[in-house]
Structure 1
Amino acid sequence: MKTQIKGNYVIGDSDAVSSLYESGGFGRLRDDSLQLRFVEAAYLLSRGKISVLKNGAELDFDAFIQFAAQQEEFFELKYIVYKDLKERGYYVQSSATDFRVYPRGGKPGKGSAKSYVYVRSERMPILLSELLGLINEAQNVRKQFILAVVDEESDITFYDVKRADAVGRFEGGMSAPYPAEAEKETPVKAVLFKERVILADQETADLLYNRAFFGKKMDDERLLLSLPEALYLAESGVLELYEMDGKKLSNEAFSENAARIDSEFLKKYVIYKELKEKGFVPKTGFKFGTHFRVYRKVESLDKIPHSEFLLNAVSPEYEFKLPATSGAIRLANSVRKRMIYAADLGGRREYVEFERIKM
């Protein structure tokens, strides 16, 4: 079947409509003709279903894909993903986010697409703002957003990417962030050492540790608190913070000190505080290479559950470097946890979850 290159499309006549669109879901109808994107035409050409003419001269497959790659950015990556999806038995159509993919058993004209697929090279970072825009586009039409990453050896890894707080209830199971008994008329003194805070009031230490999983016991009387934990409790009126020389620290001064100790403290603390207010129990995620490991609920220290997800707090300008992101997602999924990236966008929090999936 002969087709012609016209602008950014390959055009087939009315015969193509019945043989390619109606039977195979290829292309889009335009009047009495069929409009194919370059990846679709390349796939059909490779299988001998069509011939492609340019200015009256027929192009073989190699000549066509070289032409297409000069017209369309990252054509070869898109073709690799398109071909893979077609060979898995999916109906696929080109769209603004590269591809619309229909559920198994569905096809164009008989039901709607299930997913938007966006293609990216492992070498191409992706900005958080760009990713949120793509998620929005899919979410607005109730589609799943899938990121297809093509690595150096042309293998594809698929990720389901979504807002964590848009899927079910993004809420913890703790009835309160700390025991009410920990609040006293006069806040308890806690001292900032070089990198952590020590609380030496045994009663309060026991309440915070045993009932709300704050900190780690130093001994029977003392509790070691992380910087986010200490500031949160100070802002809540449970603690008063002091320097080692006995000078009282305002919460603002403590925050400034903490930011000098940990350059990422401020962006981490904003997310830590919101997680606490949502009823979660965030703890350090250092052993997993993340900022936090997060528990939905901790009822007893005798039987601490597995944490539900790992979380990295990032800036609004954050750029996902895909090899590093892939490693974090693989680790999280391998220990049966969700991998979430969180950012404070001018008072609005965004929680983006990645899950590696099989198509």
Structure 2
Amino acid sequence: MVSDQTYISDKEMIHELQLKGYGELEKEKLFLKSFESLYLLYADKLILRKGKKQINFDDLMGICQKNDSETLTKFLIYRDLKTRGYVVKDGFGFGSDFRVYERGQFGEKGAKFLIFGLNEGQQEKMGTLQKKIEQITQMGKEPIIAVIERRGEVIYYKINRMNFYENKTGLEELSQL
């Protein structure tokens, strides 16, 4: 681990992790996103060191949360998707947290789903939500909202494009009451 970035330099481990959709290869090192490192630590599949000091899950979570307040939300969604057997990669930006590939399709086809997370009770403006959905559907992907309940359970909602029309007739009827 260097700074807040995790990288793997062991060629055998790089190969194994890449086949499962982890990380990005740069100059013979596999760089992992924070949620990937957290998941591998959580699953006891990674021993992480910074210098000679071993870093545990809680230590890494604290480091990551200083840089990104959404770290826990991303980790909970990522962990849930990995547990369900999906290959998950970082999103494209514009509010999508993850690209999710259909089971058995990683490396053969592009991601089918783009997922963005919301914590239970978190407010999101409808215009912002609509813009995200339009961008995702224009890419030919299916938008999904992952809502994190207070207990940490993740619930997924497949969403479609929304249209809001001004209902002038209804407004006129309301004003007459």
Q: Same fold (TM over 0.5)?
A: yes
- Aligned: 1:103 with 2:44: no
Match of 2:150 in 1: 152
CA distance in structure 1 between the aligned counterparts of 2:51 and 2:176, rounded to whole angstroms: 66
| More displaced 10-residue stretch of structure 1: 156-165 or 59-68 | 156-165
Match of 1:87 in 2: 83
Match of 2:32 in 1: 36
The amino acid that maps onto 1:51 is I
Change (3 A) 1:260 1:88: same
Name the SS for the 1:147 alignment partner. Answer: strand
> Contact 1:103–1:114 at 8 Å: present in 2 too?
yes
Q: How many residues align?
A: 169
TM-score (norm: length of structure 1)? 0.44
Matches for 1:169-248 after TM superposition, within 5 Å: 228=169
Q: Which has the larger radius of gyration?
A: 1
Q: Deviations over 1:322-354 (max 9, x none)?
A: xxxxxxxxxxxxxxxxxxxxxxxxxxxxxxxxx
Name the SS for the 1:163 alignment partner. Answer: coil
Match of 1:5 in 2: 2
TM-score (norm: length of structure 2)? 0.85
CA distance in structure 2 between the aligned counterparts of 1:132 and 1:98, rounded to whole angstroms: 16
- Segments of structure 2 that go 5 or more residues without pairing to the other structure are none
Deviation at 1:133, TM superposition (A): 2.1
CA distance in structure 1 between the aligned counterparts of 2:131 and 2:50, rounded to whole angstroms: 36
Name the SS for the 2:159 alignment partner. Answer: strand
Match of 1:21 in 2: 18
CA distance in structure 2 between the aligned counterparts of 1:140 and 1:30, rounded to whole angstroms: 30
Pick from 136, 139, 153: which aligns with 1:138? 136
> Contact 2:130–2:162 at 8 Å: present in 1 too?
no
Name the SS for the 2:39 alignment partner. Answer: helix
> Contact 1:78–1:98 at 8 Å: present in 2 too?
yes
> Contact 1:5–1:52 at 8 Å: present in 2 too?
no
The amino acid that maps onto 1:98 is D
Deviation at 1:104, TM superposition (A): 1.5
Name the SS for the 1:110 alignment partner. Answer: coil
Q: Deviations over 1:36-79 (max 9, x none)?
A: 11110011112222222235422112211222222222211211
Matches for 1:251-262 after TM superposition, within 5 Å: 255=172, 258-261=173-176
> Contact 1:14–1:32 at 8 Å: present in 2 too?
no
- Aligned: 1:125 with 2:123: yes
- Segments of structure 1 that go 5 or more residues without pairing to the other structure are 166-226, 232-254, 263-359
Change (3 A) 1:116 1:59: same
Name the SS for the 1:5 alignment partner. Answer: coil
Deviation at 1:83, TM superposition (A): 0.7
The amino acid that maps onto 2:127 is S
The amino acid that maps onto 1:21 is Q
**Cα RMSD, aligned residues only:** 2.2
> Contact 2:134–2:161 at 8 Å: present in 1 too?
no
The amino acid that maps onto 1:260 is S
